[in-house]
A and B are shown apart, each in its own frame.
Chain A
Amino acid sequence: MAKGTTDSNQTVHPSEAPGVKRESLVLNNRSMSWITDRVCGIVENRQPFVWWILFVPSVLLASCLGYTLVYLVSTGVGVWGNNQPVAWGWAIVNFVFWIGIGHAGTLISAILFLTRQKWRTSVNRAAEAMTLFAVVCAGIYPGFHVGRFWMVWFLAPVPNSNEIWQNFKSPLLWDVFAVSTYFTVSVIFWYIGLIPDLATLRDRATTKVRKFLYGMFALGWRGGNRAWKHYEMGYLLLAALSTPLVLSVHSVVSFDFATSVVPGWHTTIFPPYFVAGAVFGGFAMVLTLMIPIRSLYGLQDMFTLKHIDNMAKIILLTGTIVGYAYIMELFMAYFSGNKFEGDAFYMRIVNGPYTWAYACMFFCNVIAPQIFWFDKIRRNLVVVFIVVMFVNAGMWFERFVIITTTLARDFLPGQWGYYSPTWVEWLMFAGTFGLFMMLFLLFIRFLPVIAISEVKGVLPESDAHYPDWQKLKKGRAGADA
């Protein structure tokens, strides 16, 4: 083990020790000021034309969301295609879809922090932002799915006008607590991580407005070690708190299904299966966003092929877990000997109204990512981008399969029905994508997409025991040009 010890006499830096050759996290021997310039430059310079090409339609789509919501509230939930027996339709499909995407950010910031995966530093900021925006999109759906939006305060733990309290034994109420806690803690985690970088932007600001606004949000951060000491402790604690939290959120979402007695939902495999699926879909969305961003803003030296390779491996792993869960679900349906459970899966896969959705799901989630077994493929941006697009679609189909096919075929054939979305649901779903993209583009415009201070901390020379400053200086001469 050649990892850095406290021994200050050591002459070989861990990153240069023989036998532990690792790919650098920041390529081309970049210096700290290069990192500052490159990341802050995105915020300080004019946005590339592509930014506007993406931003304008995003705003238009987001306003469609606003329109459909107003239409929904003023007319009634009948404008959705929800019916009996499929009362959960797209509203819940899209809720679970978005909340699942929102899992990658905290996973990268918390779990990879605790497991000391240093490569997380270039990805975590954007992934956390993506998490927040995905949870915003998710939160819209159950809020409006309650039917009378102005009654949504019934979800809060206060007695309603008849002095009736919420039923705390209901998984739906657990969900309210889980999702709102998740959002709040993610915001805190994100903001605490941003403080040092906001200070960097403040200190570089050339206009009064910038200096004032970044200065306000940087809270007067002065980067003293006495502050870093508490800051690092706080960050560690938040990571330790967020790790079980992120696992709990999708577990609780899965309880909405698993604690009901509907065949196809009433299974114990749901919590781990949902969490693996959420990580899977979330990483796919991170790559969907980061692959274009790294080329557009010239971040290839910080967000390297090594990062993409690692994330593709996580997608492969979680995709395989999801595939295992799909198959195990079938096995349990057969092995339990339960007629209804067996029939639910028979009608889901072989003979039912939505078998095509199951096929899409299985191909996108289980088969498509298997291509990531190959080293070369994981570093081929085009193929990776196509595969993560499949995963994005596949995870949406998974939620559609779980919710719609199950509800459309429950115990009595007399209750069976069919569900298809209306134009309002289509427009609303597109609108959430618009909102998501709009928020993300604004994030790129106004905040550092890469955690500047954290990336500086993984450079080899960040170590106080870095052995060879002369060599570093020579190697760097002209590198930043």
Chain B
Amino acid sequence: MKATTNSKPAYGYVAEFENATAIYHAAEKVRDAGFKRWDVHSPYPIHGMDAAMGLKKSWLSALVLAGGATGGLTALFLQFFTQVNLYPTVVQGKPTDFSTLPAFFPVIFELTILLSAFAVLGGLLVILMLPRLNHPLLASKTFLKFSDDGFIMSIEARDPKFSRERTKEMLESLGATNVELVEDEV
């Protein structure tokens, strides 16, 4: 993988850093340099990295709120519609009208939680665009250290600020111990 062969288009650079501190400070610099399509890959979530990368709060919670509301309303509808409207069963002399609301709380609660949890899982997959099994980064040996003890920064060639020479120089000047150009598989 030499930077000079242009047979395949480049995906971008991956750069390995020594530890969390090094990559944290490097991320601050890359953020200030105005890069947009880049990421910091680490074996665990590094605290404070969102700020160092200039990322906003996750909006997954909004999806989960919607999921929870759907669950609660579904349960409310399911129970009232079947118990009051469609098939009122008189059991133990209990009424079959809206006054039975308290008896419906457990199922409302459970379905709220259930659909919220589905929203967490579904929302994560959609936001992160997973599953994606063939990502170009996964072909790089340097990159794969992220799941053990490596701290890897990736900068995509699609970034408007990207340049084969200058980005490499920048990464090296930030203290990267190993910079590698990753080819795009597509």
* Contacting residues, chain A, for B125 (C-beta < 8 A): 219
| Interface assignment of B52: CB less than 8 Å from any CB of chain A | yes
Residues B19 and A228 in contact, CB atoms below 8 Å apart: no
Name which of A196, A200, A203, A216 has the most chain B CB atoms within 10 A of its CB.
A203
Interface footprint category on A: 35 or more
* Contacting residues, chain B, for A245 (C-beta < 8 A): 110, 113
* Contacting residues, chain A, for B43 (C-beta < 8 A): 32, 36, 196, 200, 223, 452-453, 456
Residues B114 and A464 in contact, CB atoms below 8 Å apart: no
| Interface assignment of A46: CB less than 8 Å from any CB of chain B | no
Residues A225 and B53 in contact, CB atoms below 8 Å apart: yes
| Interface assignment of A167: CB less than 8 Å from any CB of chain B | yes
Residues A223 and B60 in contact, CB atoms below 8 Å apart: no
Output the least CB separation between A222 and chain B (Å).
Answer: 6
Q: Bound complex: CA of A168 vs CA of B107, how far in Å?
A: 8
Output the least CB separation between B118 and chain A (Å).
Answer: 8
Residues A464 and B48 in contact, CB atoms below 8 Å apart: yes
Output the least CB separation between B124 and chain A (Å).
Answer: 5
Q: Secondary structure of the B side of the interface? A: helix
* Contacting residues, chain A, for B124 (C-beta < 8 A): 192, 230-231, 234
Q: Would you give the 0/1 interface string for A218-233, flagging 1 where the beta carbon is closer than 8 Å to chain B?
A: 0111111111111111
Nearest neighbor of B45 in chain A, beta-carbon distance: A228
Nearest neighbor of B71 in chain A, beta-carbon distance: A181
Name the segment of A170-178, A353-361, A394-402 touching the other chain.
Answer: A170-178
Residues A224 and B41 in contact, CB atoms below 8 Å apart: yes
Output the least CB separation between A301 and chain B (Å).
Answer: 16
| Interface assignment of A469: CB less than 8 Å from any CB of chain B | yes
Q: Bound complex: CA of A469 vs CA of B19, how far in Å?
A: 9
Nearest neighbor of A191 in chain B, beta-carbon distance: B121
Name the segment of B83-91, B162-170, B172-180 touching the other chain.
Answer: B83-91
Partner of B138, one of A222, A452, A454, A456: A222
| Interface assignment of A99: CB less than 8 Å from any CB of chain B | no
User: Which A-B residue pairs are the 6 nearest by beta carbons?
Assistant: A32-B149, A457-B44, A224-B39, A464-B24, A233-B58, A219-B131
A-B contacts besides A169-B103, A220-B138, 6 pairs, CB < 8 Å:
A33-B148, A165-B82, A226-B53, A238-B117, A453-B43, A461-B20
Q: List 25 A-B contacts (CB under 8 A).
A: A165-B82, A167-B91, A169-B83, A170-B91, A177-B106, A184-B117, A188-B117, A188-B120, A200-B43, A204-B148, A215-B133, A223-B42, A224-B40, A230-B58, A231-B45, A231-B124, A231-B128, A234-B121, A234-B123, A456-B149, A461-B20, A465-B21, A465-B48, A466-B19, A469-B18
Q: Which B residues are within 8 Å of any A CB, using their own CB?
A: 18-21, 23-24, 27, 39-50, 52-53, 55, 57-58, 60-61, 64, 78-79, 82-83, 86-87, 89, 91, 94, 100, 103-104, 106-107, 109-111, 113-114, 116-118, 120-121, 123-125, 127-128, 130-135, 137-138, 143-144, 146-149, 154
Q: Which A residues are within 8 Å of any B CB, using their own CB?
A: 6, 31-33, 36, 157, 159, 163-171, 173-174, 177-178, 181, 184-185, 188-189, 191-192, 196, 199-200, 202-204, 215-216, 219-234, 237-238, 241-242, 244-245, 248, 252, 255, 452-454, 456-457, 461-466, 469
